[in-house]
Amino acid sequence: MKNYTKALIATLISTALTACGGGGGDGSSSSAESASTPTTSPPMSITGKVIDGYIAGATVYLDINFSGELDTDEPSTTTDSEGGYILDITTEYQQCAKYVPVITHVPVGAIDLDYPDTPITEAYDMVSAPQFTLTTDEDIINLTPLTSIVWKSVEQELTAVSAELSCDKILANQDLRENIVDRLTEQEIRVARRYNITVEVLYSDYVAEGNDSLHGLAQALVPGLQASYSDTLELEAANSTADFKYVEFYLQLIDETVAIYDEQNAYWLRKEFIQPRNGNFSYVTNLMSYDLTTREATYERVSQKTTNQQGIELERMVQLSPVDNWAPNNQVMTCSVNDRYAAVVNYREYAVSNNVYSSYSSSDWNWGDCNSIKHAEHNVSQTFIVADLFTDGSNTPENKVSLSFYEGNINNISEIAGIGGDLSTISAEWLVNSLSFISPDYSSEESYGSDYWSRLNNSFVGAEQTVKVHDIDDNYTVTTYYADGTNSKLCGTWTAGESSLVDCTE
């Protein structure tokens, strides 16, 4: 089932940047564009349309200081009766024009031309990424609803790990510009992969192109977008020292084959995420009433804590999860607790994962019961993982084997079963020696006495990634992630090889 995340209604911007160059930018081209020597510049303007349907009566402005509010000296304008605008940039701000966001404030009383007789009753904002980050050389840049949320997520990440953003800091810091471009590109790809659509489609004008599905989604998501922003501000204020935190409201379709976003075919979920520091996070997702006023049930809750002792990294994850057929009228949950012990030597990772999982699925599960799940009362499995990592520092496996041993067959490394967070009895050297007999060779079919195994191979050609997996049941899949954010999947059998592969893209 696809998750339709919060989206804001973006802008269609056409630029005539005679002072700062064309509409494109690679994030590193402005080393000569510093704030050192002001020059006399010809007139410059940004033109475009505000889209949620087209919006008349909205305020469009350059957010020079990244405050999210219109200051008296910032260039601004108002959209016309067809949602269009011309934003004139005064000489003093021309140098900053492509390094700061364009924000559209849609006030109470503005008109969505899809509903011309019903003025907007609740104000909201939309944000366009700074122009230098956009990967296009065209004069006209289409920014979709998803573009706004892409930038908002990147901005949250940046402000969580660095000082306040400003035009001056971006102009003076090439590394910061490159960081922003990299983060924005990664976020674009993540969103594109979620929908399995190209980045080009993400930036399209869905109104002009008659994309009714995306248009309907954008309209349905506005209430969740408003709630996401306001709740995130509250969460940030209450958790000021956390590295990263956000609230996200998103719609989930009940029938994926019918893209109708109403109360009969979709339900709202609210995800609250807090990361105090790297490797440690928690989140809880709740089913919401359709008017977003009431949290009705827990949909998912996850907590991960990471520690390092004796040269071993221990990740402990507690997970209360929905079953595949979870629905508002079928709130069935399952619970698991996973302790993963890992050591890396010469780019080879050796890991043992102890998993305790519920012997039943039920709507009666709660977080307290899940967090205290006992080995003796539920199913237990142990997984051995050996992987050869790429040497680029990404911790991405080139080849990996996972061997699962079910209850009654986990005495292979009995010393590690059930020890929890007490690592005093083991060491990285012991862990490596205990697993050194396992080869991560992708072509192997050796089971090493396991009840189940799978083998994975990662390969890259430029920005294109291919993931191949085969397992003990003779399943064989090849998933390719393309540079434009889309993916495809082929399925077949390992023994029959490439000739058996057929398209099974979800």
Ordered by start, the domain boundaries in the chain are 3-152+164-194
Question: What token pair was written down for 150?
Answer: 């892409």
Distance of alpha carbon 143 from alpha carbon 221, whole angstroms: 16
Q: What is the mean pLDDT of the chain?
A: 81
**Most confident residue range from 96-110, 196-210, 268-282:** 268-282
The average pLDDT across 98-112 equals: 89
| Contact call for residues 62 and 2 (beta carbons, < 8 A) | no
The average pLDDT across 467-494 equals: 93
Distance of alpha carbon 51 from alpha carbon 10, whole angstroms: 6
| Contact call for residues 213 and 62 (beta carbons, < 8 A) | no
Distance of alpha carbon 52 from alpha carbon 113, whole angstroms: 8
Strands (E) located in 71-136 = 76-78, 84-89, 102-106, 111-112, 124-128
Looking at residue 500, what is its pLDDT?
96
The average pLDDT across 253-274 equals: 86
Looking at residue 43, what is its pLDDT?
72
Query: Which H helix or E strand runs over 223?
Result: helix 212-238
Question: What token pair was written down for 181?
Answer: 């471009």
The more confidently predicted of residues 65 and 261 is 65
Residue from 330, 324, 321, 326 nearest 367 by CA: 321
Percent of the chain as helix, strand, coil, to the nearest 5:
20, 35, 40
| Contact call for residues 461 and 171 (beta carbons, < 8 A) | no
- Lowest mean pLDDT across 37-51, 360-374, 392-406, 449-463: 37-51
Residue from 224, 6, 5, 11 nearest 129 by CA: 11
Distance of alpha carbon 256 from alpha carbon 248, whole angstroms: 21
Is the Cα dihedral 375, 380, 382, 383 positive or negative?
Answer: negative
Question: What token pair was written down for 205?
Answer: 């004008």
Looking at residue 110, what is its pLDDT?
93
| Contact call for residues 260 and 217 (beta carbons, < 8 A) | no
Question: Does residue 93 have a pLDDT over 50?
Answer: yes
Looking at residue 453, what is its pLDDT?
98
Q: How many CA atoms lie within 13 A of 68 on its CB side?
A: 12
Q: What are phi and psi of 353, to 5 degrees?
A: -120, 120
Distance, CA of 199 to chain centre = 15
| Rounded (5°) CA angle 482-486-487 | 75
- Angle, helix 212-238 to helix 145-161, in steps of 10 degrees: 20
Amino acid identity, position 481: Y
The more confidently predicted of residues 89 and 375 is 89
Looking at residue 416, what is its pLDDT?
72
Return the CA Rg of the chain: 26
Distance of alpha carbon 152 from alpha carbon 26, whole angstroms: 20
Residue from 454, 457, 436 nearest 446 by CA: 454
Question: Does residue 20 have a pLDDT over 80?
Answer: no
| Rounded (5°) CA angle 385-391-394 | 75
Looking at residue 331, what is its pLDDT?
93
| Contact call for residues 135 and 484 (beta carbons, < 8 A) | no
Beta bridge partners of 253: 266
- pTM for the predicted model, two decimal places: 0.67
* Contacts (Cβ under 8 Å, ≥6 apart) of 326: 299, 332, 333
Q: How is residue 364 annotated by DSSP? A: T
φ/ψ region of 268 (left if φ > 0, alpha if ψ in -120 to 50, else beta) reads beta
Is the Cα dihedral 441, 444, 448, 450 positive or negative?
Answer: positive
- Lowest mean pLDDT across 69-73, 198-202, 250-254: 198-202
Could you report the per-residue pLDDT of 318-342, keeping only the tens digit for each? Answer: 999 999 889 899 999 999 999 999 9
Amino acid identity, position 422: D
pLDDT band at 398 (very low <50, low <70, confident <90, very high): very high
The more confidently predicted of residues 228 and 15 is 228
Q: How is residue 331 annotated by DSSP? A: -
pLDDT band at 162 (very low <50, low <70, confident <90, very high): low
pLDDT band at 413 (very low <50, low <70, confident <90, very high): confident
Distance of alpha carbon 311 from alpha carbon 245, whole angstroms: 30
